[in-house]
Amino acid sequence: MVDEDIKSKALFVEGLIDYQDNSVVSRELIKKELGTVTIFAFDKGQGLSEHSAPFDAMVQIVDGEAEITIDGVKNTVKKGEMIIMPANIPHALQAVNMPYKMMLTMIKSD
């Protein structure tokens, strides 16, 4: 369930979620039939193993840096940067050198 208390307010994105030791934490901000917006916090060494999704997905790093592998190609994405992961293409995310927070926007593809 999406929190109603965040609607119609200017919010500090990094403060929407906290890191937890040895964990990946997520908070769904928007959930609609056509897509979602979720914020994640990855502790150092944590990640999501390779998978694919039926959505185009945009990752925006809001703290730290992530190693994001798309179709076998590794990308280092840092705070203030974004990357688009195409639908149905294998991808993985990892906090290699430091923890990171990201906002994930997924839009359903045709």
Q: Which domains does the chain have, with CATH numbers?
A: 19-108 (2.60.120.10)
pLDDT score for 6: 85
Q: pTM for this one?
A: 0.90
Nearest to 43 by CA among 67, 16, 21, 12: 21
CB atoms within 10 A of CB 31: 11
Q: Tell me the C-alpha to C-alpha distance, in Å, between residue 88 and each of 7, 44, 51.
A: 31, 27, 9
Q: Tell me the C-alpha to C-alpha distance, in Å, between residue 21 and each of 1, 24, 44, 47, 98.
A: 24, 9, 9, 13, 12
pLDDT score for 5: 80
Determine the average pLDDT of the residues in 43-51.
96
